[in-house]
Amino acid sequence: MSVREPSRLRKALLAGAVALALTGAGSAIAWSASDTPTPTPSPSQPAPGKSDKAPGKEKPAKSQRPQHLHSESVVKKADGTFETQLTQQGTVESVSETSVTVKSEDGFTQAYTVNAETRIIKFPAAAADGSPAKDADGKRLRPAEVAIGEIATGVSVRVSGVKSGDTVTAEGIVEGSGTGPGKGMGLGKGLGLGQGHGKESAKGHGRGLEK
C-alpha cells in the first residue's frame, strides 16, 4: 500500500460525512417547508367555533312573554300571622260602589269587596298611534288615583286582594296600560305599578304611587 492510499481513504470518508450531513440538513429543510403552521385568527376575525351571540339568548317580544292571569298565595306577616293574598288580571264583568267582579282570559272569575281602603289607579288612554297620552302642553299624562265610579265594565284591570273566608277584599285596582304583560302583578298595599316578583309583588314592590 502506497502513502497516497491512506490520504485518499481519509478524503473519501470526509466526503461521505459531508454528504450525509448535507442530506440530513436537506431533510430537515424539506420537513420544515412541508409543515404548514396553524393560522392565528386576527382580532377582527372570530376564532372557529365561536360566535358573537350565543344561541337562545335573544329576548322574546313583549307580546310573547308569559302573562300572569291570577294566583293565590299564603304569606307570613311580620307579626307572625298568616294572610291569603290574591292577584288577578282580567276584564271587569260588573262594578258597583262596594264591589267589582273580574274575569280572566281562562274563565276564572272573582268578586272583590271595595271599601274606603281600596286604592284605585287609572292610567290615561294612549293616543291613536299608540304613543303615551299627553296634555295640551305636550307633557305626558300620569296615572291618577280615582274613585270606583271611574271604573267601567269591559275595561282591563289588575287587582290584588286579601282573602278571609269566602270574601276577598280588594286592596288595589289598576286600570289601563299598567295591565300589560309583565313578570308579576306589581300590585298591593303600595300599588307598585311596575314589575313584581313572586310573593313580593303582592306588597307592591316596584314603582309605586305614594299616598
Query: What confidence tens digit (pLDDT) does each residue in 117-153 have?
Result: 999 999 988 777 777 778 888 888 889 999 999 999 9
Q: 28 pLDDT exceeds 60?
A: no
Highest mean pLDDT among 25-39, 65-79, 145-159: 145-159
Euclidean distance between CA atoms 7 and 82, whole angstroms: 114
Q: Which has more confidence, 190 or 106?
A: 106
- 55 falls in which pLDDT band (50, 70, 90)? low
Which pLDDT belongs to residue 24?
A: 52
169 pLDDT band (50/70/90 cuts)? very high
Looking at residues 17-42, what average pLDDT do you find? 52
Joined together, the cell numbers standing for residue 118 give 281600596
Average pLDDT of the chain to the nearest whole number? 74
* Residues 24, 174: Cα–Cα separation, whole Å: 88
Report the pLDDT value the prediction gives residue 196, as an integer from 0 to 100.
Answer: 42
How much is the pLDDT for 152?
95
pTM of the model as a whole: 0.57
The 10 Å Cβ neighbour count of residue 173 is 26
Of residues 44 and 122, more confidently modeled: 122
What are the pLDDT digits (tens) for 88-122?
999 999 999 999 999 999 999 999 999 999 999 99
The CA distance from 179 to 122, in Å, is 10
Residue 208 has pLDDT above 70, yes or no: no
Q: How confident is the model at residue 171 (pLDDT cuts 50, 70, 90)?
A: very high
pLDDT value at residue 186: 47
- For residue 84, pLDDT over 70 is answered with yes
Average pLDDT estimate for 25-41: 51
